Homo-oligomer: A and B are copies of this chain.
């Protein structure tokens, strides 16, 4: 599993304050600590911290890049902010994200080709998020076709079938599980799969329990990557154990410690 740490996001108070004060220390500490906790990449999202999205993204990416050399996942719906983030990352970035809408794909996919970096494609179109797995796959196919046209390799496309809060839409988690498996039949080689995990538990009482339970199911259903909280030890342990039980990591008696070392 490819873990993208979710914590550098202006919706968190500590990050918001650091952006507003232009104080690099909390950001760089969050960057290093997430990697130490097992993240393979870091999501970078300005969030609601400021109206100067371009300036804030440039600053945030530069600050994170000084601290770590892992892929930075530039998280913005705005193509101009995206370009600034990709430039500041100096290569080694992931585009987060495009939807399946023609306009958005036309803006974002050329950036993936220009900067030669993977791109996350959300299964959303002008009508929003489809109700079921089949609807998600229709959009996934459009995303895959548009990437092929741009010369973007399927292994550089991360399909995100968009998990919604279980308390609002209780049929969605199973449809998303189905979608993950169906993505693997889209092409050969298939696209990768990704989820913004924490969304499944938005507004619920047992957030961590729901997150880790859903992650186990998703990993067992072909999930390749997740944007998630690497500081949640129970979540990380559930993920590691799932990979051992699926024979993707070698078992040793102390496999939890071995993974985290």
Contact A246 B174 (CB under 8 A): yes
Contact B213 A238 (CB under 8 A): yes
With A170-B251, A173-B245, A245-B166 as contacts: A237 and B216 at CB distance below 8 Å: no
Decide if A25 is an interface residue (CB 8 Å cutoff): no
How would you classify the secondary structure of chain A's contact residues: helix, strand, loop or mixed? helix
Decide if A116 is an interface residue (CB 8 Å cutoff): no
A256 to B208, CA, bound (A): 13
Copies, count:
2
Decide if A188 is an interface residue (CB 8 Å cutoff): no
For residue A200, which residues in chain B have a CB less than 8 angstroms away from its CB?
245
Nearest Cβ in chain B — how far from A162, in angstroms?
Answer: 15
Decide if A221 is an interface residue (CB 8 Å cutoff): yes
With A177-B220, A253-B204 as contacts: A247 and B171 at CB distance below 8 Å: yes
Contact with B along A223-253 (1 / 0, CB 8 A): 0000000000000011001101111001101
Contact B206 A245 (CB under 8 A): no
Contact B217 A247 (CB under 8 A): no
Decide if A21 is an interface residue (CB 8 Å cutoff): no
| In-complex Cβ contact of A241 among B206, B244, B245 (8 A) | B206
Nearest Cβ in chain B — how far from A235, in angstroms?
Answer: 12
Contact B247 A173 (CB under 8 A): yes
Decide if A84 is an interface residue (CB 8 Å cutoff): no
Decide if A50 is an interface residue (CB 8 Å cutoff): no
| In-complex Cβ contact of A251 among B166, B209, B250 (8 A) | B166
Decide if A214 is an interface residue (CB 8 Å cutoff): yes
A interface residues with partner B (beta carbon < 8 Å): 166-167, 170-171, 173-174, 177, 200, 204-206, 209-210, 213-214, 216-217, 220-221, 237-238, 241-242, 244-247, 250-251, 253-256
Can you spell out 5 A-B residue pairs with CB atoms less than 8 angstroms apart? A166-B245, A170-B250, A206-B255, A216-B216, A216-B217
With A177-B220, A210-B244 given, name 17 new contacts (CB 8 A). Answer: A166-B244, A167-B253, A170-B244, A171-B247, A173-B245, A173-B247, A174-B245, A174-B246, A205-B254, A206-B237, A209-B256, A210-B241, A213-B216, A213-B238, A216-B216, A220-B220, A220-B221
